Structure formats: C-alpha cells, structure tokens
Chain A
Amino acid sequence: MGEKLTIDSTLRCDVLVIGAGGAGLRAAAQIGELRPGTKIIALTKVTSPQKSHTTTAQGGMAAVDPKDPVDKPIFHIFDTWKGSDCSADQNVIKKVCNMGWEEVVWLERNGMHFSRTEEGRIPKRPFGGHMLNFGETKAFRACYEADRTGKGIMDTVWNESLKHGVNFIGQCIATEILFKDNKCIGAIIFRYPEGKFLAILAKATIMATGGKTRMYLVSSNCRGNTGDGLAFALHAGIPIMDPEAVQFHPTGMVGPGILASEALRGEGAILRNKDKEPFMERYAPTAKDLAPRDLISRAIITEFREGRGLFHEGHNAQHVWLDLRHLPKEVHEKKIQEVCSFFKRFVGVDPEKDLCPVTPTAHYQMGGIPTNEFGEVQTDTQTIIPGLFACGEVAAASLHGLNRLGTNSLLELITLGKVTGERVVEYLKDAEDPEEISPDAGHIVFDQFSTYLNAQGTEKYAQIRETLRNLMMEKVGIFRTEKSLLEAIEGLKSLKERAMHIPIGITSLKANQDLWQIWELNNLITVSMVIAQGALARKESRGAHYREDYPERSNEFNYHTLVSMPEFNKITLGKRPIDMSIFEAKGERFELFDYIERKY
C-alpha cells in the first residue's frame, strides 16, 4: 500500500474504440473497410469482444425488406416516433430506418447465420409496436437468427474487425478521456491482469461502452454493465441526455431477471395474471401482448398492485405468467430454443408444458451521451467535441427518445455504428497525431484508486450494492413520484459517502476484483444520481418515464433533458430540442409526425 500509481506506458493508434460490442466493432469494421491499414485499438472489459453484452440480444433486428409486399420504411419510421412517445429525433429515425435492410444484407454477406425461410431467405417475425399502415396491424419486420440474433451480430462484427486487423485489448477499463485544447486525444486505461495503467493516444476516439442497468434489483444486463462510460463522460463535463429514460423489459425471468425475449410474444406467447386472464387485452386492445414495452411493464405492475399477480417463494418476488404452451413444438425447438433452455435451466419449468413466471427487468437506457446523427459527441446542439464520437447504447442520437421499440436497438448499433465509422474516416483526413499526454493525465483514476485502496471504515461493498439496487428499483423504477425521487437522491448521497469507507480485501493492483467492483459501484451511484435528477426534473409521463404525480404527457416537456454533473450531485440541467424535420418537411402523412396521441 502507498505504492505510487503511474502510467506504465503509452500506446498510439489512429482510432481508439472504447467498448468492443456491436456498435463499437461495426464502426471499427467500417473504418477497416473504407480505410485499410488504419491502426485501430478496441478495448473491452471482458476477455473477448465475442463475450460482449450484445451477444445476449435475442429476438431480432428491425428492417424493412424492399421486396416486402406490404411493409414500407415510412411505417417503421412512424412506429419508432410513436413508440418513443414523440420524443425521438426524426432526422435520426429516418436515417436509421432507411438504412436497416442494407445493413441486414451487410451482416449476412459477412457471414451471419440468419435463420432461413423455405425460399432460403432471411425470415421476419412481429415485435412490439411494429405495425403496418401507421398502426393498423402487426408487421413482420424483425429479421432474426433463431433467438440468438445478438450473438449472430456480435460474432459477425467481431469477425470482420478481426479480418481488418483491429487490435483488441481485453480485461481493461477506460477510466478517463484525455483532452488537449478541447480536442479528444485518447484515454487512460487500466488492465485487470497486470494491474497496470496505460495511456492510449488516438486521433479519434469512439465511445461505445454500452448500457448500465446493474443499479436495479432486477436487471437483464451483464455483470459489467455499470455505466462506466457515462461516469467518465460526466467527469469530463459532458452532459447525459434523457438519463431518466430507463427501459424495463416486461418479461424477465423471475429471479435473476434474465431476458425472455419479446420474440416469444412475437411467436404468439400470451401474458396471463393469477386468474389466467390474458390481461393485455384490457390495456392495449389492438396491439395486446405486442404493445410497446413501457406499456406492458406498467400493466404488469398494475396487475401486481391490484392483487392479480403471483408470488414466487424461491425467489421472493412477484410475477405474472407467460404462456407458451400452445405454440407448436417446431417453434419451441427451433425458433426459441435458447430461451426455452433458459427457462428449463434457471427456473426449472418446461415452457412446452408449464406456465413461465416473468417479471419486469431493467433492460436498456434510451438516453446517453448526446450525439448528432453522425455519431459526433455534442455538448449542446451547436458544439461538437472534435475527435470524440459515440455510438450504441451509451449514445443518444436519439433514435429512441423516451421509449425504445424491441429490435430497434440492434438496428441502431449496426446503422449508427457504420455511420460513426464513416464519419471517423472523414475526420481522419485532416487529423493530426496527438503529441504527448499532459503530465497530470491519470490523476482522476489515481485519486479514485488511492481512495479505494486506502479506505478505512466498516462499510461493506455488498451491503451498499444491495441498498442501491433496492433503492433504485423501488424509487426510480417503473413508477416514480417527486417524493420517491427526492428520497432516492438523499439515499444516493448517503451511499456515495458510505462507498468511501469500504476497507479493501487486497491491495495489490493485479487481478483485483474487489478494487474493480468498488470502482464500478461508484460509477453506478454516479449514474443513478443522474437518472434520479433527470426523472425529478421531467414533471410529466412520457415513454418509459412515468410520474404518478404527473400521469399525462405535457407539451411543456417536448425536449430532451441534458444533465451535467462534473462533481457528484453538482447538477446543471439543460435542454435539447426534439428534431421534427419529417413533420416540418410537410411530406406524406406529415401530420402523423406531430405530437400525436399514443394508443395501441
């Protein structure tokens, strides 16, 4: 202990990709394709990009096949706008939806193992909120690889990055973004195995660190989805857009919250309450079990509150049923093979014969680091940060606004990953090699780690983590009120303080799980504060953000929230206008792109 923390060495590259998941590596592959020989380093917290969280996505990637006789991109664009509860950016929706199919073809040509129709083509299934003719009836739009579409996508972008010579550095965290004259010049990273700090200097840096819902008691996210990217962006003075928009997926498996894909309902599964009633018919008479996720999650909690939920004793949790018993054997065995095996292994039920217990699980962040439609990071609508890009779940362009439709996230990773890669190639034309790191680089993480390594006290990591997860689930979850949010903010302040007094088990830097997790816990607390503050400021209900004290959507809040927090709980709120370019262009059915009523 007391050992001085220093940067061990400095690496140089053209492009640094922080986070080697679907979006980061789609960007990397695009750069490799357009500009062979570009020196790219891609960082991941896990051991290989193949193990990224993208690989757990199940149901599909939305894209309108131009050969489809009934579906059109404009329907998809409308569904995404309506699904967002009129809070996504129309320029981004239009760009992404129009690119969907060419990206499906790109993935397939580069080796993705999509499922096949009898004609040998890529099959499509229905998903929540995706409809034909501006909301009339369900659309078959989710292109899939059984119920492991994320794995297919992840394998493909990882493979293509490998093919283009991307240098992967695994088992590391990026702890600080480096700037020189307001330009991003790379990052400081910390490697788990050797316990060493490295500086990586890059002409361009892409942040693609993914999601962060591990602060919730029930979460479908990986162990490492702890909001690290958001935390260091906040530290660097970058605001987070729409942090209050946290998606709860309605069907997590009771217990750990493992995702039970919406594809199950796409294939015909039905939600039932204690009385076996298919209750979604009451909440969404047209879309029923394929209503958007925010509506269904609220419906499930309402069923719980009104006494029509069930209780799982083993996991000490409430749930409803997902009924898959009527689906053909062929569907169970081929189309939803992975999820069926998860139910058998983790819950001990056989979906062919038994009802499956499910409960809402924290799943996705719609908000994130604000970018324009090219993946350039913006501090406000006028100002971009040269050399810094962001894409994927960590970024908000914003395709999803306050609520995301299923299968639009895989679509976003791939399309905006590609767009970001293209923009980086443009940027590299005039970009110069950064000279040297500043002498004080690394001080943020050195201070943090020194504090954790030398902490005195009696606090326990596990207790703080569990208190946080319960607090966020209860007070900043599916239903929120001013009272619950203020309590959460007070609770978070106390947790932040307590987290400074966890005596550490090992003081060596090498493979120190304890140190790593305490760092992650601090990031979770930081990001939780931003979520709570964003939720407190938005005194309305829109998309996944639901305020019981303000249950209606309000035109006063027709904007994106920007929350800055350079120091813990030093909050500055800002606004970013919602892009309404489709409405303003007055083209085909433009009136549907106004702030319309949202009914399913």
Chain B
Amino acid sequence: MSKSYTITLEISRYDPDTKLSWIQTYQVEVGGILRFVDVLRKVNDEQDPTLAWASSCEHAQCGSCGIIVNGKPLLACELLVRDAVEKFNTQKFTLKPLNIAPVLRDLVVDLEKAYDKVHEALPYLIKPAPPHPDGDEYRISPEKLDIYVEATRCINCFCCATACISSHRNFLGPNVTMANIVRLMDPRETAKEERMDILYREDGVYRCHTSRACSFVCPKEIDVSHFLALGKEGKF
C-alpha cells in the first residue's frame, strides 16, 4: 500500500474584485503518489472550491501549471507528494504563483501576457531556405539536429523565467531567448541577421548573468543556460 501523508499547504491567495491578498493554510491527507495538481483538486473538492489554480495536460507537456513551491518554480503536475516530502525534507509547503505575469486569482497568472514576449522572438522560420531539389524535406543530419534538439523541447512554462536572477523588465527571458537561438541554429533559417538583432538587442541575451538558475529548474531538464552561452558566443 502506498504511503499517505498529512501535508500543510500555505497558499498565496488573491481576489481580483477586492484586490486583497492573503496566505491561506490547508491541511490535506493524501497518498504519496498523488501529484500536486491532484492535491489542489482535493482541496477544491473537499475544503475550498474557491481556490483557483491552472493546469491543462497534467503530464508536463503543456506547461500551464507552473507554481512556486518552497521557493522553487516547477510544474504542479510533475511533483509527486512523496517526492516533494523527500526533496524539500518537510511536509509543509508554501505555494505561490509564478512572478512573470499579473496574477488573475490565487495561483493563476496571466500567461497570455507572458507569451507576448515569446511572440517577439518570432519563433517561426522568418525566411526559410529554398526547398530541397527533390521537392521534399530538407536534409538535416542527425548530428546537426543533436546540437539543438534539446532546446526544441521547451514548452514555455516560464519556470526558468521565474527563477532567472535578471529582471523580467529588462530581459526577454531565458525561454524566449532560447526560442530565438533554436532558429539561429536551425539550418533552414536564412534570416540570421534579423535574428541576431533580436538576440543582441537591449533586452537580449547579454542581460543574462549566467546564474544557470534556468537550467537548474527546467522541468524538461533542458540545459537552457548552455544555449544562452552559445548565443553569447555567437556559436550557432
């Protein structure tokens, strides 16, 4: 039988109508194999239907459920209770919303606003190279793809941007900068100069202080700072 835990959650609440913020404490008895999204659902179901939190796919493929647990930005769907107890060595958890966008209510932030920055990085191929003479797909060697494929796995959950020690106002952010670097490394992109203008602009890659917090927190275990370093070096 899997172990049960009695955990204490201290959750940051916010009411958009009264503009009041407060910390609310919940005690929940849960199975160790439940995820934090299940725990939040349990709070809704059994104690407080008004607590708002966000999620969608609930298996770390969409990046909608980022929150800060005991200071660490992570995906609530990926954190199992037993792992959290072990990792943080406690049964008491503080849950806060990500800090990269305005809070809508409780743990829900307006990621739509955060995405405006992703759009600024022009994640598409601005000017694709001419097609292969055979009229089918471009040829990209697996060795070439290996160099940047990890960066293509980013789901824009903004955990890295939350952990980043550079200011959100002055820096496009690690995930957004990486989205641009992916296309700089992509052999199908020919608009390299336009991309370098984005990379090296005022709020570009040089705002990164190489704390490597992004790599440390990435739920997809992407070494984000490695790609930012390549960007600084101009090695793409």
Query: Interface of A with B (CB < 8 Å)?
Result: 46-48, 50-53, 55-56, 65, 67, 101, 104-105, 108-111, 113-122, 148, 151-152, 155, 159-160, 162-163, 170-171, 192-193, 222-224, 255-256, 258-259, 313-315, 338, 341-342, 345-346, 348, 460-462, 504-506, 508, 510-511, 513-514
Contact = CB atoms under 8 A, between A and B. Distances in A.
Given A46-B56, A51-B64, A118-B142, A511 B16 contact: yes
A505 B49 contact: yes
29 contacts: A48-B111, A53-B56, A105-B136, A109-B138, A110-B125, A111-B124, A111-B186, A115-B142, A119-B139, A120-B138, A120-B139, A120-B142, A121-B139, A170-B115, A193-B104, A193-B110, A255-B33, A314-B31, A314-B33, A345-B60, A346-B35, A346-B78, A346-B80, A504-B49, A505-B50, A508-B16, A510-B105, A511-B52, A513-B105
A148 to B, nearest CB: 7
A513 B149 CA distance: 37
B59 interface: yes
Given A48-B111, A55-B61, A506-B50, A163 B56 contact: no
B55 interface: yes
Given A110-B124, A159-B124, A121 B137 contact: yes
B112 A162 contact: no
B141 interface: yes
B226 interface: no
A50 to B, nearest CB: 6
Given A113-B145, A508-B16, A342 B105 contact: no
A4 B23 CA distance: 32
Contact of B56 (A223, A259, A513): A223
Chain A binding surface SS class = loop
> What band does the interface of chain B fall in when counting residues whose beta carbon is under 8 Å from A?
35 or more
Contacts of B45: 460-462
Contacts of A151: 61, 153, 155
Given A47-B112, A55-B155, A256-B58, 16 more contacts: A53-B57, A56-B59, A67-B136, A105-B137, A109-B128, A120-B142, A148-B61, A159-B124, A163-B124, A170-B112, A223-B57, A256-B38, A342-B60, A511-B16, A511-B105, A511-B108
A111 B111 contact: no
Contacts of A51: 56-57, 62-64, 155
Contacts of B16: 508, 510-511
A114 B152 CA distance: 10
Contacts of A223: 55-58
Contacts of A342: 59-60
Contacts of B141: 116, 118, 120
B47 to A, nearest CB: 11
B131 interface: yes
B104 A50 contact: no
B48 interface: yes
Nearest to A193: B104
A506 to B, nearest CB: 5
Contacts of A104: 137
B115 A48 contact: yes
A191 B153 CA distance: 30
B23 to A, nearest CB: 19
B145 A192 contact: no
Nearest to B38: A256
B155 A510 contact: no
A109 B35 CA distance: 39
Contacts of B44: 462, 513
B155 A108 contact: no
A155 B155 CA distance: 9
A104 B136 CA distance: 9
Given A151-B155, A314-B1, A109 B186 contact: no
Interface string B48-85: 11111111111111111000000000000010100000
Nearest to B52: A513
B123 A162 contact: yes
Nearest to B16: A510
Contact of B112 (A48, A109, A461): A48
Interface in B184-230: 186, 188-189, 221
Interface in B144-165: 145, 149, 152-153, 155-156
Contacts of A345: 60, 78, 80
Contacts of B186: 111, 113
A373 B110 CA distance: 38
Interface string B77-113: 0101000000000000000000000001100101110
Contacts of B58: 222-223, 256, 258
Nearest to B145: A116
Contacts of A159: 123-125
A514 B49 CA distance: 6
- In the A-B complex, the 6 residue pairs with the smallest Cβ-Cβ separation, listed nearest first, are A120-B139, A462-B45, A314-B2, A159-B124, A47-B111, A511-B105
Contacts of A256: 35, 38, 58-59
B46 interface: yes
A113 B50 contact: no
A159 B125 CA distance: 8
Contacts of A513: 44, 50-53, 105, 108
Contact of B17 (A101, A152, A510): A510
Contacts of B108: 511, 513
B66 to A, nearest CB: 11
Contacts of B61: 55-56, 148, 151, 338
A505 B13 CA distance: 15
| Most central of B16, B33, B183 by chain A CB within 10 Å | B33
A109 B17 contact: no
A313 B1 CA distance: 6
Which of B110, B125, B137 has the largest number of chain A CB atoms within 10 A? B137
Nearest to A66: B136
A259 B61 CA distance: 11
Contacts of B54: 47
Nearest to A111: B125
Contacts of A114: 137
B50 A514 contact: yes
A42 to B, nearest CB: 13
A97 to B, nearest CB: 17
Contacts of A111: 124-125, 128, 183, 186, 188-189
B155 A50 contact: yes
A110 B127 CA distance: 9
A258 B38 CA distance: 14
Nearest to B79: A345
A506 B108 CA distance: 15
A255 B108 CA distance: 25
Nearest to A161: B124
Nearest to B37: A223
Contact of A155 (B48, B57, B123, B139): B123
Nearest to A52: B62
A341 B78 CA distance: 10
User: Which of B2, B62, B78 neighbours the largest number of chain A CB atoms within 10 Å of its CB?
Assistant: B62
A348 B153 contact: no
A345 to B, nearest CB: 6
Contacts of B128: 109-111
Contacts of A162: 119, 123-124
A341 B221 CA distance: 10
Contact of A505 (B48, B62, B135, B189): B48
Contacts of B20: none
A55 B157 CA distance: 13
Nearest to A152: B152
